[in-house]
Amino acid sequence: MAEQSFKMFCYQCSQTAKGTGCTIRGVCGKEPIIARLQDNLLYAIKGICAYLYHAREFGVHDSEVDAFLESGFFATLTNVNFDPNRFLEFGLKAGAMNIKTMMMLKQAHIKAFGEPVPTKVQSGTVKGKGIIVTGHSLKALEELLKQSEESGINIYTHSEMLPAHGYPGLKKYKHLVGNLGKAWYDQKQLFAKFPGAILGTSNCVLLPTSDYQDRMFTMGVTGIPGVKHINEFDFKPLIDKAKLLPGLEDKPGDVVLTTGFSKSVVLSLADKIKNLVVSGKIKHFFVVGGCDTPGPKGNYYRRFVELLPKDTIVITLACGKYRINDLDLAEIDGIPRLIDVGQCNDTIVAIEIAQALSQVFNKPINDLPITLVLTWMEQKAVAILWSLLSLELKGMYVGPILPGWVNEDILKILIDKFDLHLISEPEQDIKQILKQ
């Protein structure tokens, strides 16, 4: 990447004396691009660490990833690296290491629970006492399911826990009864109404209201002031609390969600998909999902999917899926038009499906009729974006807002090098992608 592609940028001055990185951010009049690229790397590293943490819960880790984390963190020290191009290289390396990490976590999930199978998930409540589990830790959910099996308490998932229902080793528990609510940010309203106990296993937890603070528990690195903490996967305090709380009513939900599409399930359909593409019945594949951002700007993703022609397939993942997973998109000759492959870390499944389609059609991924339309919000999404860029995927659409570390210069590079697009209006973007 040519150095001159950056405009005048600041050299992290040693006079700031404010610790790691510039905390002044351009007050000196210079564009703090090094500080912004440091932020990007730190966010990507935080995202990788979140997935690594969950992998380690299953006893797996990787020395190459660990070594990268050391060098990546080191590179963000004051006065150690002034070269913006080096930071872009670090971003791409972070992406590659995140792919390795997501793969490691996926393999750990499959080893522990089997490969997911398409599964219908109820969105209502069942009569009886209940515990709702949010976050990403499938290990925590499994331990809770084991420890509560004879308790008569029903277990519900929330947000990024929904894909748990697709794993044979988790869906076998009869008291895993459904999923309540949508993406992470509905938890204050949802948990206030949920009469049972609540477990937060990872990000994204919010500070609880007084309505439910005394019914909430955290575990692992998750912690909230005034909320009880579970140690060493010992869920007895949580189960005991749920036993004392009022039960839920029998109240079926309005929609039944489907999750659990694995690489194997999709690849078992590869010949059929190929024939449908060749015969023109499937024109385009979209990956629509990511870390959802609260607010009306995220309505873009629902509108986008609603407007797609019926000869398109949508693969979805992460909590951004809740913008669209209640839509009935029907099927194309038996192939569902909406395919939920799982959590944000299951981006690796979408990547593997794209790589498999690349082999089936004997074309590079960038030449396939596949477009990624992603929503991003926080650190894991940054790690995933760099993962996709490290694969040299071109033409992705991202939104609904730009992360704080992106400035005009950095955006220009992402656009020039990776043909990255910011979302505009759904109609316009669909027209541009499908060249209608």
Q: Is residue 83 a contact residue for ligand SF4 (CB under 6 A)?
A: no
Nearer to ligand SF3, 273 or 305 (CB): 305
Q: Is residue 134 a contact residue for ligand SF3 (CB under 6 A)?
A: no
Q: What track of x and - describes contact with ligand SF4 for positions 3 through 42 (by CB under 6 A)?
A: -------x-xx--x-----x-x-x-x-x-x----------
Q: Which whole-number Å values give the CA distances from 349 to 123, 265, 361, in the listed order?
A: 25, 11, 18
292 makes contact, choosing from ligand SF3, ligand SF4, none, with CB < 5 to 8 Å by partner type, with ligand SF3
Kindly report whether the peptide bond that precedes residue 319 is cis, defined as omega within 30 degrees of 0: no
Q: Is residue 318 a contact residue for ligand SF3 (CB under 6 A)?
A: yes
Look-up: residue for tokens 């309540």? Answer: 180
Nearer to ligand SF3, 203 or 387 (CB): 203
Q: Is residue 374 a contact residue for ligand SF3 (CB under 6 A)?
A: no
| Stretch 157-196 residues interacting with ligand SF3 (CB under 6 A) | 160, 183-184
Phi, psi of 118 (to 5 degrees): -55, 130
Nearer to ligand SF3, 35 or 204 (CB): 204
Amino acid at 188: K
Nearer to ligand SF3, 177 or 319 (CB): 319
Q: Residue 177 in contact with residue 122, Cβ under 8 Å?
A: yes
Query: Least distance (Å) from ligand SF3 to the CB of residue 258?
Result: 18
Amino acid at 254: D
* Complete DSSP assignment for 42-94: HHHHHHHHHHHHHHHHTT---HHHHHHHHHHHHHTSTTT---HHHHHHHHHHH
Sheet holding 176-179, edge to edge: 176-179, 154-157, 130-134, 197-200, 216-219, 228-230
Query: Least distance (Å) from ligand SF3 to the CB of residue 166?
Result: 16
Rounded distance, CA 183 to CA 159, Å?
Answer: 5
24 makes contact, choosing from ligand SF4, ligand SF3, none, with CB < 5 to 8 Å by partner type, with ligand SF4
Pairing of strands 331-332, 312-317: unpaired
Q: Is residue 203 a contact residue for ligand SF3 (CB under 6 A)?
A: yes
Rounded distance, CA 56 to CA 250, Å?
Answer: 38
Query: Least distance (Å) from ligand SF3 to the CB of residue 318?
Result: 4
The one segment of 109-117, 161-169, 246-254, 376-384 that binds ligand SF3 by CB under 6 A? 376-384
Q: Is residue 291 a contact residue for ligand SF3 (CB under 6 A)?
A: yes
Report the interface residues with ligand SF3, using CB under 6 A. Answer: 136, 160, 183-184, 203-204, 291-292, 318-319, 343-344, 377-378, 380
